[in-house]
Amino acid sequence: MDFRVTLKKNYEFKRLYNKGKTAVTPYLVVYSMKTGRGVNRVGYTVSTKLGKAVVRNRVRRRLREIYRLNSDRLITGADIVIVARSRCVDAEYGKIEKAFIHACAELGLLREAER
């Protein structure tokens, strides 16, 4: 699966915030909506409240890598937005990854074999 297909437009993010399903964990919030396309589109949000640019970019890189490594476990045809929360800054990588998998399972984004 091509993990580089991303959401870029503000209206795409707003549509997911308003109409998508939500899963909340201590480290991140995942919004999703099934679209029926042949590929997943993903967007990342890291607020300036989390820290300066170095910190925000490190969190964003971690989120992108977590999605990349687990994208084959997800169903296709969904738009996903991953929003980092403040605990994500100091958290261990494994805990963030586990939170992402849990949120995806809650939203029904995992393939049947992975559940």
CB-based contact 18:55 (threshold 8 Å): no
pTM above the 0.85 mark? yes
Please report where in the chains the tokens 């169903």 appear, as a residue.
75
pLDDT tens sequence across 37-58? 899 999 999 999 999 999 999 9
CATH fold for domain 10-114: Ribosomal Protein S5; domain 2 (3.30.230)
Q: Where are the domains of the chain?
A: 10-114
Extract the tokens encoding 15.
């549509």
**Digit-coded pLDDT (tens) for 3-23:** 678 999 999 999 999 999 999
Give CA–CA dist 61/40, Å, rounded. Answer: 18
